[in-house]
Structure 1
């Protein structure tokens, strides 16, 4: 029997909406925090090699989440779910980050890398939604074009290498598959993140023999490192996982189109670097494309009794009408057969 709660859950899952206003504050906060990560990473990389920053960041996250997990007596998910959670984290966090830095190390510019990773919502749409409108795909394409406009300067300076392209594609594949797997995890994000960051830290440690490891033990490095570890890797990632659980996966991943634009705004506000007119036009294209994407989602895969979002009671009403009709037929039949009523 389909309850009203089931109907609401199915409709929310299909459309990416919620019956609460959680996403109203979580979405802009996530974009703001994630956008600040690029500036913090830029400041930190002035004092450390990429893999030193990544390894120390993940180690700090593991220490904090491990302490919280021990205090809550929930350090790991149940035994039967650990392998799946670890594999998901290895892809979504470890694989994405490791291949991202390897692509940069191979000479790929951040703008080109951001554009390659911008294909993730399109891949997610093709892999997860059986039926989607052409307008929805067009909105993603418009947002991707806007992203390319925002990072146009970096694109013009790009010098591509085969190794860099392969690492960028591996980062894209890791994040896409990892996000799809994460959508299926029903545990609270705080219950799986310690294990996932542990698996990601192990991946970084495996790469260390082949990568330089050096950093300055200074406040100029410690401050952005703490921001990346505590605010981005814990706070923003918890928000990201919450959005994945609550909404449509394509809509959530398409929010990454806003990150370069958000970084450009913060770069101007905090560091005084002006945005080029083309970048501002690109921000407008991103917003317009995302508007089409969010409006284009339709409630596919919902049971027939829940298809009308304006009336989640529809299935129950139909069943009541059917039972009432059956009861009326029974009463009429009994009356026709009762000799006292006939007379």
Structure 2
């Protein structure tokens, strides 16, 4: 299977919220990507949005030899079998977060990609959120010195549990597997692998069957990174709080790209990634100032992926980074169950790739 010119033909598995709202619009908006087929039982929904796209079942999509890339946006517990099948049939693969439901599954899929000489990547779109890019710029420019305390929140207000796979008991369900991968990935991009992980999970809403509150600390020698998510936060949101040896930075408002996608705004439209909420900086004397937040651009993930497939450029989220995030997810689950600090279950070779 060869890529004709620079055009990468894409098959998308799943047209629920994630496939419909994130992947399909971004694929269509990315030069050099062609959304050719969708595997879904919702043919009417797909054709309402993309009239010229083939709607097929999953087996048919995986068997097509005119597709270069398969994007998996199906429930978490299907990620491994679908990824392995797609790689075996010769396709490059993108998996929505979380990559897998266990580190064991993640290693198996990474090994399959290596055997078949295909790219496997994780859709870590929030690396290109405005809020994260702004905080990263402050850190990289040394405006607050060396970071000692980094706090990341993704909160929602959903006081009534829903009857859906994400909130029903099962592999890969619950808030931690839903929101945790975003916050972990951002932390690892900034600081690398932690030494240990300390976690506490809660079931705070009446009727919750999976955790709806997670507080996780990534332990570094001279730094603590807190990632926190809750489904019972109606207001007073603060996305990031970062304290350094020379000052602090606060980012209150969240990136707006998801909200714009939900409203049907096409990715890359004028003003697409703009964020009117400024960063707030505090100097060593406690005096405050503001700094504009740079625009976000989650399309950058698919732009880089297209170049990786068509031109041999680097994978935007390579396998060792996918394994690192899964190791932290799994360590947090163990820590929450045992009440102990937990080391990452990575091999020496897997750790070495981070250096």
Q: Is the TM value for this pair above 0.5?
A: no
The structure number with the bigger radius of gyration is: 1
Normalized per residue, the structure richer in helix is 1
TM-score of the aligned structures, taking structure 1 as reference length: 0.29
TM-score of the aligned structures, taking structure 2 as reference length: 0.28
Using CA pairs below 8 Å that are at least 6 residues apart, which structure has the higher relative contact order?
A: 1
